[in-house]
Amino acid sequence: MNILDVVQSRKTCKAFDATKPLSKAQIEGIKTLLRYAPSSVNSQPWHFFLIESEAAKARIKPAMMEANQAKVMDAPLTVVFAVSNHLDDAALLHIADQEDQDQRYPTPENRAANEQGRKFFVDLNSKTREMQNHWCERQAYIALGTLLLGAEALGINATPIEGYFPEKMDEVLNLQEKNLHSIVVVTLGFSSKEDYNATLPKSRLPEDEIFTAL
């Protein structure tokens, strides 16, 4: 499917068919989309919780606002996006070591220069802990966009959800102990006949309102 067709056909799913599971290949595709999503200086300051079992759905249900609980219970997969509370030097070294393992550096000098550049940019966005948190969250939203378009290309319906209780979600998933906090939830599966949005036309502002050619 052409990417332009994907972006024009994708719609937020309002109701999922609980009788239609995702295949193993589709779940692996979703994981690939998230794993290979871009991030600034390849920082990857994220962790994704895959909610598949009925027990896991019931566990996070109290953390969802009432209007979104049915989506979690009916969708075959829910992804909770979390990001690091603190991206420290050890995390940056771990990234560099993985890049080295993946043969990203032709020479030790290339690695040293890349590490220096990454640390400079992370520090630039880490004047305060809150500033760094916001920067990490922005990286995860790049992964969110990648997932939404990629899921459509795989024939999977998706719903991004900010309508949940972050403190409760962090509690039920023990995120504080993992140096993480949640930022957004995505339900994935297939639309049911109750999904009224599936048949509605898309609506966007006209080009002359959102583009300025200089």
Could you list the active site residues? 14, 71, 162
- Say which amino acid occupies 140: A
The three-class DSSP label of residue 11 is coil
Give the closest residue to 122 by CA, choosing from 111, 113, 109, 135. Answer: 135
**Distance between CA atoms of residues 80 and 175, nearest Å:** 11
**Distance between CA atoms of residues 200 and 214, nearest Å:** 35
| Strands laid side by side in the 180-189 sheet | 46-51, 77-84, 180-189, 157-161
- Say which amino acid occupies 196: Y
Asked if 37 and 84 touch (Cβ cutoff 8 Å), the reply is: no
**Distance between CA atoms of residues 111 and 93, nearest Å:** 11
**Distance between CA atoms of residues 121 and 114, nearest Å:** 11
Sign, CA dihedral 61-62-68-70, equals: positive
